[in-house]
Amino acid sequence: MQRYENLSYYQGMMKRSYEQLRQEFPVFEYQAFDFSIAEAEIKMQFHFATGGYEFHPKMKLSLGKYAIAPLREEEVQGIVFQIGMIELISYWKCTCSPTVLVKPYQLDEAMRSWWKKLYFNGLGEFFYQNKIQASEEDFMSFGFAQDSPSASELKYPHVDDNQRVIVPIGGGKDSVVTLEALRKERQVIPFIINPRGATVDCARIAGFPAEEDRVVLKREIDPQLLELNKQGFLNGHTPFSAMLSFYTLLVSYGTATRDVALSNESSANEPTIPGTKINHQYSKSLEYEEDFRWYVRTFLNDCNHYYSYLRPYTELQIAEMFARHPQYFPVFKSCNAGSKENKWCCNCSKCLFAYIILSPFIDNDTMVGIFGEDLLDKAELMQYFDELCGIAPNKPFECVGTIDEVNKALRMIRESRKGKLLMQHYEEFAIH
C-alpha cells in the first residue's frame, strides 16, 4: 500500500485529472476471487489492484430457510466470477485505467462487448459529473492472462422452479407494491442488501419477521477505496441495480427459484439529461433489463429470469397502489441521504419527489406525519422542485419519475395544496 507523507505531493493528487490518472494507472487488475460454502451461507472475497493499491472487498450471502443443499462449487464459481466483474466497476472508476486485466478467465468477444456497454452506460452520470469526455470504443479495453482458461468453460446451474419468486426489498414504496401484489399469488422470497430499518420493517409488515425469513447480502466496501476518494481520486455514481442483478443469480441458484421480480417502473427509461443517453437509472431501464436477460440466456445457462413486475406502470399508478397500504406509512423510506439514520432527510430531490407523487392519494396531514414537515412549503427545495417539474433544464440525478408524471401529480393537487409556497411558485410558471 502506498503512503504519501509529503503534503505538497498529496495536494497535487487532489487536482489530478482523468487523463493524468489513466497515465499513472494504466492497468487495473481483477486478480482473483475466493468463496466458501456453508449450509445456508456463501462467503465471497474479490481481489483487485492497480499501481500499488489493493482492494479486497468481502461479501456474505445468507440464504436463511430457503437454502437448498448441497450447492455445487463448480456452479457457484462461475456466478461468483461474474459478480466480481460487476463489483470491479466501483474500484476501477477511481483511476479509470485504460486496460482492465482480467486474470481468472478470458472473456470472448461477445462478452467483452456486453461488459463494455454496461460499464460505459452505467457510468454515464459518473462521466458527466466529472466532466469526462469518453467514447464507448476507447474509454477502456479488456486484457487477459495468456494462461487463463476461457470463461465459456465455466459451469452454471439450470433453475426451472417458477412457483416461488424472489423480490428484492429496497424499503421504498415500489418494492412494497410488488411485495403486496405477489405474496397474494405466489410464495415470495424477500432479498435484502445491507439491511437497514426501512427494509427490515417493510419485510416484517409483509410477513417476514425473522432473519431466517429473508435472504440477506452483507456487502462491504474495501476501506482503501474510501481513502482514495478522500485523496481526490475519481468518484461518482455506479450502476447499483446492475450489481443487484448479478447477485440475484446466486440467490436463484441458492434457493432453486428462477423468477426475480424487480420493482422498476416505466419512468426509469427517461434520460436524466434530455437529448442524451445519460440516465441515473440506466441499470433500472428496460434496455439494461433486456440486455441482462440476454446475457444470462446466452452465457449463464439461463439460470434465472430477471424482470420488473412494475414495468407497465407509471410512478403515479404505483403511488396510488401504495396508498392502499397505510400500514407501511410509518416505516417506508426512499431517501438515500437519510438511509443510515432510517429517516427522510427532507432536504433532497428524492424526498420531494416522493412527497409530490404521493400527495394526490394521501391527505396533507398524513403526508406531514410521514415526513415530519410539509415539503411543499419549504423554500430550500425550490431548486429541486424546478428540476423535477421541468422548469430547470435537467432532472435531478436521483431515482425520480418523469417530468410529465411530476406535472400531472402537481395538477392533481393544485386545489388541495394551492396555498403552499412551492405550489404558488408552480402557478407563476403556468405549467399545464
- Phi first, then psi, for residue 82 (nearest 5°) are -65, -40
Rounded to an integer, what distance in angstroms lies between the CA atom of residue 103 and that of residue 110?
A: 18
Mean pLDDT of the chain: 92
Q: What is the pLDDT of residues 252-302, one digit of tens each?
A: 999 999 999 999 988 888 878 888 888 888 999 999 999 999 999 999 999
How far is CA 250 from its chain centroid?
17
Residues in the chain: 432
3-state secondary structure at position 373: coil
For 146-182, how does the pLDDT look when each residue is reduced to its tens digit (9 = 90+)?
999 999 999 999 898 778 999 999 999 999 999 999 9
For residues 93 and 234, is the Cβ–Cβ distance under 8 A? yes
Q: Which of 96, 99, 38 is nearest to 67 (CA)?
A: 38
> Which residues are within 8 A (CB) of 299 and not within 5 positions of it... i.e. 6 or more apart?
110, 111, 151, 152
> What is the pLDDT averaged over residues 32-59?
96
pTM score:
0.93
Separation CA 164–CA 187 (nearest Å): 5
* Residue 29 in grid coordinates: 487488475
Higher pLDDT, 311 or 269: 311
Strand, coil or helix: 67? coil
- Alpha carbon distance 114, 124 (integer Å): 16
Confidence of residue 428 (pLDDT cuts 50, 70, 90): confident
pLDDT digits (tens, 9 = 90+) for 364-378: 999 999 999 999 999
pLDDT digits (tens, 9 = 90+) for 399-423: 888 999 999 999 999 888 888 888 8
User: What is the spatial distance between Cα 49 and Cα 56, in angstroms, rounded to a whole number?
Assistant: 9
Cα gap 191→193, rounded to integer Å: 7
**In sequence order, what E strands does 222-278 have?**
259-262
Rounded CA separation 353/386 (Å): 11
Average pLDDT over residues 198-216: 96
Query: In the predicted model, is pLDDT for residue 1 greater than 80?
Result: no
pLDDT at 425: 85
